[in-house]
Structure 1
Amino acid sequence: MEPVVVVGAGPVGLSAALGLRARGLPVTVLEADPEDRERPGSRALFVHRETLRLLDGMSPGLAAEITGYGRTWHTRRTLYRGREVYSRTFPPPSGPPPFTSLRQVDTERFLRGACARAGVEFVWGARVTGVRTCDEGVTLTGEDGRAWNAGYAVAADGARSAVRRELGIAMEGTRGEGFHVVVDVADVPGAELPLERVFHYEHPGVGGRSVMRVPFTGGFQVDLQCFDDDREEAYGTEDAVRRWLPSVVGDGYDGRILWVSTYRFLRKVAASFTDPHRRVLLAGEAAHLFPPFGARGMNSGIADAAAAAEAIAAGTAEAVDGFADVRRAAGLFNSEAAGIALGHLRPHRRIVRLRQRAAAALAPVLPSCGSWLEHAPYGPRHGAPAVAGGKY
């Protein structure tokens, strides 16, 4: 059997390696960082049920490991300018949970453990700088002169993918205005906040900026939506967060900050998910970049990884073409869905704000208005091309 090389040891690359090993293929993962790298921040929080099923198919028992550690909240709460407009508590599921919430570093820890058990080989400190494909396979070269020959490669090396760049594949899409601040905060022992997800439109404590709070194991994440003309140093530094955080979650947390980051909105999808020789398959952020609404990034990336492993195991150009067509269609759907959510969260048309204000006023007597305010920030879930095989 020809070996397969996976570039990138994030959750998508690790999932691709697991999917390939589940089909009996020898796999080497190349990662530019050293083995003892530190990965601060929650990054991707949610592993959805559909993703858990994919992972369990690659490594039986892995879903139980992840859900056993992660947290599943059962209450969704939405407020508008300090007043609750939606609240719903769901009973605990009788089967697998709809999602579990944990920091990405913990998800990667479980995936790496599964890879080790599956016999995946890792090469750390292997920064890829060259890619050459032909009808027979692919050769990847590193900055230190090392080379790896394989029948196929999966490029899961992130938004600045060196593999994609070397192949000359363009990213097509848009870059949005404004930025969000993401803060990871550790729980205060004995005084944990309620296990619920809270979205607050135009929070009065932060000057009308919208805020979301999401629990994860050991703490919670706060996402502050800044205005287009805000300066990052005024809201996105650790000192700045200490000033505004108490007005959002209460006193006692300004000293519990674990990580602060800012992000801007990119909606981009690769022009092709494979090279002309059908020997390299793009997955995850190497293939698409979405705003984080609806947890589409990592979950769609793991769906890419599962589909890539299936196509490589089939071993035909037709299978790789099928992968590229299906996953690009899914990427375009997710990009459009994230764009719809972005238009709701950062409305530039006055009519959208008026609709939100009217819905908030009517929510006490028309629950459907509150439900719309609850669901709109995540974009449409359904309507993905049927051939894509699911939400992602």
Structure 2
Amino acid sequence: MRPLRFFLRRAFSSVSAPSAPARPALPVLIVGAGPVGLTLSILLSQYGVASLVVDKRRRLSEHPQAHFLNNRTMEIFRKMEGLTAEIEAKQPPVEQWRRFVYCTTLSGPVLGIVDHLRPEDLASRRSPTAVAHFSQHHLLPLLYEKAQRLGLKVPKNSSYWSQFAALASYPGPILMGHECVSITSNSNGVNARIAASQGVSRPAVDVACEYVVAADGAGSPIRKMIGVAMEGEAEIQKLISVHFFSKDLGQLLLDSPEPGMLYFVFNPKVIAVVVAHNLEAGEFVAQIPFYPPQQRLEDFTSEVCHDIILDVAGRKDLRVEIKTVKQWVMHAQVADRFVDSHERVILAGDAAHRFPPAGGFGLNTGVQDAHNLAWKLAAVLKERASKTLLSTYEVERQPVAKANTALSVANFNAALAVPAALGLDPSAARIVHGAINSRVGMLFPKKLQSAVLEGLFAVGRAQVSPAFLSGFNPIASARVSEMQRILREGHSLQLQFPAEDLGFRYGEGALVPEVEQTSSRRKVSAPTGRRQEYLPSSQPGARLPHFPIVIYHHMDSSPSSKKSCSTLDLISESEIHLVLIVGSNESGRTWAEAALSAAKLSAVPLKIVFMCPGKVNESEVFSVPKWVSASESILTHAEVDQGWWELCGIPDVGAILVRPDEHVAWRSTTAPDRSSDQLLRKVFAKVFPVPASCIHVQESDTFEMRC
């Protein structure tokens, strides 16, 4: 067997390709400066890929929307210049938002409380990060600043800028107040027409780009332009969202024994869900059921909303400032396609899927769309991978979106169990509203329709009046007891879903699935809306398990160049590599030799990590730079506890191949053999298909890559 240094000695030389049609000046146009569009811009910039973000709004939205960031999203943010640390420093203290509170008014009797955080949720055993409560309108400025600054650092050719001369003198990577009004795509790229929005008089500009990513929200104009339909249930519920400030109310809730994130208020005057975005700042949003056409957005003036908030609070002496009032519609739908027919226009975030807010899957699923898409776009645009890699985006993300849709609906239905237990059956409200909107009901004058609707709702809300809920009413006592049982047994609205958050797994795509035995295959059951715990897995498609390690950096010859971190940090946020993790033993050495041989012939960028149980012998580790090309480090040692392989569920003679998005692409549960290099060539071809134009010429001790 040849020594390992033979396989580590490599030399690359670029050979000019035959002349080809000129590529469009702009690699990626991102439509929408929300959390998904800005996240994608940052991730692409970290890979060195230029993009332009356009948004029809002149400024970022200040109306609170999503506010719960799950573990996986925080892991992604952690690699965006330490964004996770910024969020953790700015978010409210955990003690102020870990609970859901059920009450008649915010200042009145509490009917029940659910604490949604467990000790393991805030520990570092399953993730290097924890969940967070940080509102989208506070997150957006942080994302915007990073996207703007990192985007300016990415080199762009002169024709990139010249396209925008009519729009702005120096546009930068983000253009607010501009929208994409039309797109035309073919197999070579996309022509997008960009125009100033909101009545600004400025000529439209046609922009030639290679790809367009539609991150333009639930109503996505781009999705409609390319003729993609949404499948699922539309208009599950309509709501009015009232953004308001009240430091008086914030202090009132802070003084309570157990403050919360969500307050479910049921009283004779109003039923509402209040989101406490920040108790110390006194920032809230009240979500109120809305029944058009009998009720109109115009009816919810600042004065009306002010009175509603006082009814919700149960106090007339609170100072309340109404900021904005909006209406929104809850859907449970997924796009039937995530790409157009030419695979040049790609949907992400709410443009591709619309969930009920139950469980906070909307923003989190969208950020994870961007994470899946970024490395694939970068690999294709840098000509490291062929376009077929992009076809795996829909294959992988659409099933996740459908699963999260079903889970959100199940969780939303679980939320309805609480008012139903109190005698407030939500289905009855829908039946009443439907009856009034029937042919017969619509014959009556609008004012009469509204009066009848409100009268019937008032009768229903009487079920939660103080007189009815008194302790002397056996019916009310039974209802409250039933409600508390639902809360106690976890059958109500849940905040966390660790199994789906960290444990979602791609079944096919840029990976090599394992042949699973029927007896060991986990049965897939319908979503229940209840919390299930995360089980670490190294199976293909799963996110690589987190485990604390110490990495030795071989391009720095100092023994002090070691870093304590997570196994997730073995994957770079700025370089597109596959990472092969092997044991520090003879099998690991053989896997490394086979992988380097296969990567050399397949033109696949590869990094190899040796997991060394116990203390690493530094004298051996720091001789490695002599074997490695000065242009790249392809070999890393990491100190790790023996429990790593046990956590992964495979012996230390096996191997794990990880993609740039930290998901496992392939693994072996057995030791290598003579055919392992051929096996790995097939694996690389499936996971990271290279352009057909890449030709390899193997020589004695070196090889060239010609593209």
Separation of aligned partners in 1, 2:299 and 2:273: 13
The DSSP-based 3-state class of the residue aligned with 2:320 is: coil
Report if the CA contact (8 A) 1:233-1:240 is conserved: no
Per-residue displacement from partner, 1:212-240 (whole Å, max 9, x unpaired)? Answer: 33233733334344275873469843222
Read off the aligned partner of 1:156 and give its amino acid letter.
A
Instruction: Describe how 1:135-284 pairs up with structure 2 within 5 A.
Output: 135-143=187-195, 144-188=203-247, 191=251, 193-194=253-254, 195-200=259-264, 203-204=266-267, 206-207=269-270, 209-216=271-278, 218-226=281-289, 231-232=295-296, 236-249=300-313, 250-253=315-318, 255-284=320-349
Larger Rg: 2
Which residue in 2 is equivalent to 1:322?
A: 392
Distance (whole Å) between structure 2 residues aligned to residue 353 and residue 176 of structure 1: 24
1:114 aligns with 2:146: yes
Letter in 2 for 1:193: L
Letter in 1 for 2:391: D
Does the Cα contact within 8 Å between 1:152 and 1:279 map onto a contact in 2?
yes
2:405 pairs with 1:335:
yes
Matched letter for residue 76 of structure 1: R
Give the Cα–Cα distance (whole angstroms) in 2 for the partners of residues 172 and 87 of structure 1.
Answer: 34
Contact 1:5 1:29 in 2 (8 A): yes
Aligned to 1:76: 99
Please tell me the residue identity of whatever aligns with 1:93.
L
Could you tell me whether the CA contact under 8 Å between 1:337 and 1:380 is conserved in 2? no
Question: Within the alignment, does 1:54 sit opposite 2:76 as a pair?
Answer: yes
Deviations 1:126-173 (A, max 9, x none): 321222222222221224431222222211122232322221111222
Counterpart code for 2:102: L
Q: 2-side partners of 1:210 and 1:39: how far apart? A: 23
Deviation at 1:60, TM superposition (A): 2.0
Cα distance per residue 1:257-309 (max 9 Å; x no partner): 22222322222211111112222221112111122221111111111111111
Equivalent in the alignment of 1:105: 137
Q: Which amino acid letter does the alignment assign opposite residue 68 of structure 1?
A: A
Q: 1:310 to 1:338 in 2, by over 3 A?
A: same
Match of 1:86 among 99, 113, 125: 113
Q: Which amino acid aligns with 2:91?
A: G
Instruction: Provide the C-alpha distance between the structure 2 equivalents of 1:359 and 1:301, rounded to a whole number of angstroms.
Output: 39
Task: Give, in angstroms, the shift of residue 314 of structure 1.
Answer: 2.8
Q: 1:178 to 1:272 in 2, by over 3 A?
A: closer
Letter matched to residue 191 of structure 1: Q
User: What displacement does 1:110 show?
Assistant: 0.3
Please say if 1:45 is aligned against 2:109: no
**Structure 1: how far apart are the matches of 2:233 and 2:496?**
17
- How many corresponding residue pairs? 382
Contact 1:184 1:257 in 2 (8 A): yes
Q: Do 1:140 and 1:149's aligned partners in 2 also have CA atoms closer than 8 Å?
A: yes
Measure the CA separation in 1 of the matches of 2:480 and 2:130. 27
**Structure 1: tracts of 5 or more residues without a match:** none
Shift of 1:16: 0.6
CA distance in 1, matches of 2:307, 2:363: 31
The residue that corresponds to 2:481 in the other structure is 361
Higher relative contact order (CA 8 A, sep 6+): 1
Shift of 1:188: 1.4
Point out the more displaced range, 354-363 or 258-267.
354-363
Residue from 350, 367, 370 that aligns with 2:488:
370
Code of the aligned partner of 2:253: L
Q: Distance in 2 between matches of 1:9 and 1:350?
A: 39
Counterpart contact for 1:62–1:114, Cα < 8 Å: no
Question: Among residues 327, 345, 351, which one is paired with 1:286 in the alignment?
Answer: 351
Local SS of the residue matching 1:214: strand
Letter of the 2:388 counterpart: E
More strand by share: 1
8 Å CA contact retained: 1:242, 1:254: no
* Distance in 1, Cα, partners of 2:176 & 2:267: 47
Give CA-to-partner distance per residue, 1:57-98, whole Å, 9 cap, x none.
Answer: 2x2221112222222433314326554333437679356663
Amino acid at match of 2:69: V
> 2:101 corresponds to which letter in structure 1?
T
Counterpart for residue 386 of structure 1: 505
Query: Corresponding residue for 1:26?
Result: 50
Q: Decide whether aligned partners of structure 1 residues 38 and 21 sit closer, same or farther in structure 2, where only a CA change above 3 A counts.
A: closer
Distance 1:379 1:268 in 2: 21
**8 Å Cα contact 2:190-2:208 kept in structure 1:** yes
Q: Secondary structure at the match of 1:181?
A: strand
Tell me the SS of whatever aligns to 1:245. helix
| RMSD value, Cα | 3.5
Offset at 1:114? 0.9
Contact 1:245/1:254 (<8 A) preserved? no
Residues 169 and 233 (structure 1 numbering): CA distance in 2 closer, same or farther, change over 3 Å?
Answer: closer
Shift of 1:253: 4.2
TM-score normalised according to structure 1 size = 0.83
SS at match of 2:264: strand
In structure 1, what is the equivalent of residue 471 of structure 2? none
Change (3 A) 1:272 1:381: farther
